[in-house]
Amino acid sequence: MTERLPEAADPRATELAGRLAVVRRRIAAAAAAAGRRDSLPSLIVVTKFHPAADIRRLAALGVTDVGENRDQEAAAKAAELSDCALNWHFVGQLQTKKSRSVVKYATAVHSVDRPQLVDALDRAMAVEMEASRRLPLECFIQVSLEDDAGAHRGGAAPGDVPGLAERIAGASGLRLAGVMAVAPLGAPPGPAFEKLSRISADLAASHPEARGISAGMSQDLEAAVQFGATHLRIGSDILGTRPAVR
Ligand SMILES: *Cc1c(COP(=O)(O)O)cnc(C)c1O
């Protein structure tokens, strides 16, 4: 008689469990180094390009928050996984016309970067909140940390944050959660995340409820934790490299 080990049943689940454990240890170590043992950041596992079956495995491993960056893919996965208790975070560039779809599954949008998008999300939420009893949509203002406006990875200019914050705070279907950024390419992440922490402090001075800082990916989570990230968005170090073709 042969014993069936769990890994024989599902090697991918074993692999994900191992990678998740390594990332959780890195987060704990970074938090300890930053004197933040009592305020661990939340982990959002960015599952873009990976199949719904992987998200189901992650949910079984205790993951509660997942991130996606394309509406079509996210909507399909959320529908397929409606039996899993998951919070869906939208982290990619968002066209205003996708707002109606996104608010059907998303708990939070991390990429709010312009007034038209605030208005579209609020209108979509008005419809959604009438149809269901969901909570307001959590909105992070995505800020560009690039020095030159040329090669940039999205986000509002820091000077536009106060205006966007007022607009979100005044929208009944939205809740201002804080700021979000992606570290600039080809530059050390520390100074960028330090800048983000100052932008966050300025925002919290006028909106004390909006203390969230969504920052930190696989490559730079330690620097993000050092500078106060409250939400980490980790993809490849948990799921492996993303399939090139889809
Ligand atoms: C893909 C993505 C991540 C995750 O990046 P990894 O380097 O795979 O950890 C985080 N944030 C955003 C906005 C993303 O698009």
Predicted confidence band of residue 204 (pLDDT cuts 50, 70, 90)? very high
Distance 235 CA to ligand 1 centre (A): 5
> How does pLDDT run across 150-182, given as a tens digit for each residue?
556 689 999 999 999 999 999 999 999 999 999
pLDDT at 244: 62
Predicted confidence band of residue 147 (pLDDT cuts 50, 70, 90)? confident
Predicted confidence band of residue 213 (pLDDT cuts 50, 70, 90)? very high
Q: Which residue has the tokens 């536009």?
A: 160
Q: Where are the domains of the chain?
A: 11-239
- Give the CATH fold of the 11-239 domain: TIM Barrel (3.20.20)
DSSP string of 136-202?
PEEEEEEB---SSSSS--S-B-GGGHHHHHHHHHT-TTEEEEEEE--PPTTS-HHHHHHHHHHHHHH
Considering only CA atoms, which of 58, 112, 125 is closest in space to residue 86?
58
Average pLDDT over residues 70-82: 98
Pocket test for ligand 1, best of 217, 218, 234, 239 (most atoms within 8 A of CB): 217
What is the CB < 6 Å shell around ligand 1? Answer: 46, 48, 69, 91-92, 182, 217-219, 233-237
CA 62 to chain centre: 17
pLDDT at 242: 79
Pocket test for ligand 1, best of 26, 49, 69, 141 (most atoms within 8 A of CB): 69
Q: Does 5 score more than 80 pLDDT?
A: no
pLDDT at 56: 98
- Packing angle of the helix pair 115-131, 161-169 (nearest 10 deg): 20
